[in-house]
Amino acid sequence: MEIEITIEEIIKLMKAFFGEEQKFEKPKPRTKRKVHQAPVAAEQRAPWSQKEKAWLFAQGKPVKDNNYHMDELKKRFGVKRTDKSISSCWRRLHDKN
């Protein structure tokens, strides 16, 4: 035994089961993402001094979690450095030697 149902009947049944059609809002237009800049990037960057490099060379591999190297460089030399700058300088110093 076959039951024939037309598309219109299926639509009526779906409306009865789910309720009236839901109206969807227009999607919000996409905006450009704001690029996060490190606070040091906006300022004039000072080159690494020999004393800073010597101190960094004597340290162990920098870890980004505890900010020890950032704080210590700021305290000792008065220059704020980013994690990226510290790790790249440390890597360059240890790759050469």
Higher pLDDT, 32 or 1: 32
Reading the block at residue 21, the tokens are 């059609």
Quick: pLDDT tens for 32-86: 776 665 555 555 678 889 999 999 889 888 887 788 888 888 898 888 888 888 8
Quick: pLDDT tens for 11-21: 888 887 777 66
Amino acid 95: pLDDT: 86
Question: Taking a C-beta distance cutoff of 8 angstroms, is the pair 21, 15 a contact?
Answer: yes
CA distance 97 to 79: 25
